[in-house]
Amino acid sequence: MTNTQRTALILGVTGQDGALLAADLLRQGWRVCGGFRRGHASKLWRLDELGILGKIELNNINLHEPFQVIEAVSKVKPHHIYHLAGESFVADSYQQPRSVLETNVLGTLNVLESMRIAAPEAKLFFASTAEVFGTPQRGQLLDESSPRQPINPYGISKLTAQQLVGIYREQHKLHTVSGMMFNHEGPLRAHNFVTRKITYNLARLAAESGPPMQLGAMDSCRDWGAAEDYMSVLPTLLDKVPPQDYVFATGTKTSVQEFLRLAAEAAGFSPAFDGEGVDMICRDTKSKRTLATVSPQYFRPFDTPPLIGNPDRLKQATGFKGSRSVARLAEDLIKVDIHRRKIGALHV
């Protein structure tokens, strides 16, 4: 490490966001250290695919162990801390509410305490979520001043953690920033998320015969941005603008049906939809094959209403130009999944 080289500690470096951020910081010449829990070697595939696995200093950090977090921060001496770790699946929070609360709240508290004790001059970014807002009024664009009334355990855990970040900013004068992240996708997304489930299966169907994919409600809508675009703005956000809360969003909503259509077209299919609700079917008009059907087993009993965000504060503060289009995002995902299938990388 040179005397002028800056150090970033990324907690959650093996996830989609952490891997993308690590790659971006390495390109900028940063020393990158990553939080890594032993026993999670299977999650290193993202770092490997990006070609950066050997360029990151991986540290064994369990956020449930406060002294281990303090020791890690003391050792690394980071200029920036990116807290991207934690539980992130809304449905799981109903099945394991205590685990989600402990991981997201106490884990964040341990990170903040380690910063206060061992790195008070560092700057921290905490990844919060749109789920802190709850149920908005119809058509309402959500911004930093919108009411925060989460309706699921995951949202509650993230709002509590976000409030802790604010307390340490105000009471301990630490440089802490929260980003309320609306849905953000990319080729490094796990395929239990619907966007990647769609492109993974379209790549399968394009390469071989097989059963159609099964999806939940086709009319479910999200504000889908690109993870790569959101991660690219984080260093500027910490270095050049006041520490506060920021919304990361596109301001537009897209349905599952529309994302499926865009991805299928990018894969070379000619998709058409028949039926409504649970009877809806997506077919390829060229081959007459069925690409997707609807299955009630994938309906969410407590589905989140459409949450659409207003990113104006982020844009004005950083010069961020916004996320790429959903059509471009779908094309990016399907190209990578088709390539993975060609080279036999089916485990990711």
pLDDT at 3 over 70: no
pLDDT at 2 over 60: no
pLDDT at 40: 55
> In which residue are the tokens 């984080």 written?
234
- Is 129 annotated in the active site? yes
pLDDT at 138: 76
User: HSE-up of 34 (CA within 13 Å, CB side)?
Assistant: 29
- The tokens for 191 are 């395929």
Alpha helices in the chain (DSSP H): 16-27, 45-49, 66-76, 90-95, 97-101, 107-118, 153-171, 194-207, 227-232, 234-240, 256-266, 312-318, 326-343
- Is 154 annotated in the active site? yes
Point out the catalytic residue in the list 131, 185, 228, 331: 131
CA-based max dimension of the chain: 64
pLDDT at 163: 98
Would you say the C-alpha torsion 179, 73, 111, 48 has a positive or negative sign? positive
- The tokens for 341 are 């299938």
pTM value? 0.94
pLDDT at 38: 67
Residue 325: how many CB atoms within 10 A of its CB?
16
d(CA 106, CA 112): 10
Residue 296: how many CB atoms within 10 A of its CB?
10
* Contacts of range 268-272, beta carbons closer than 8 Å, 24 or more positions apart: 268/206, 269/202, 269/206
d(CA 232, CA 66): 29
For the segment 190-203, what is each residue's pLDDT rounded down to a tens digit?
A: 988 999 999 999 99
User: HSE-up of 141 (CA within 13 Å, CB side)?
Assistant: 12
All domains in the chain, ordered by first residue: 7-181 (3.40.50.720), 194-220+255-304+332-343 (3.90.25.10)
pLDDT at 63: 94
Secondary-structure breakdown of the chain: helix, strand, coil percentages, each rounded to the nearest 5:
45, 20, 35
Position 41 confidence tier, pLDDT thresholds 50, 70, 90: low
Point out the catalytic residue in the list 7, 108, 129, 304: 129
Among 143, 149, 146, 178, smallest CA distance to 161 is for 178
Among 142, 168, 167, smallest CA distance to 155 is for 142
Q: What is the mean pLDDT of the chain?
A: 93
CA 269 vs. chain centroid, Å, equals 28
Alpha helices in 128-226 (DSSP H): 153-171, 194-207
Report residue 120: phi and psi, to 5°.
Answer: -65, -15
Question: How confident is the model over 291-295, as a mean pLDDT?
Answer: 96
For the segment 235-284, what is each residue's pLDDT rounded down to a tens digit?
A: 999 999 999 999 999 999 999 999 999 999 999 999 999 999 999 999 99
- Give the list of residues 6+ apart from residue 338 with CB closer than 8 angstroms, or none: 203, 206, 207, 267
d(CA 1, CA 340): 35
Point out the catalytic residue in the list 82, 87, 103, 154: 154
Question: How confident is the model over 170-189, as a mean pLDDT?
Answer: 97
Residue 39: how many CB atoms within 10 A of its CB?
8
Angle at 143 between CA 101 and CA 247, to 5 degrees: 60
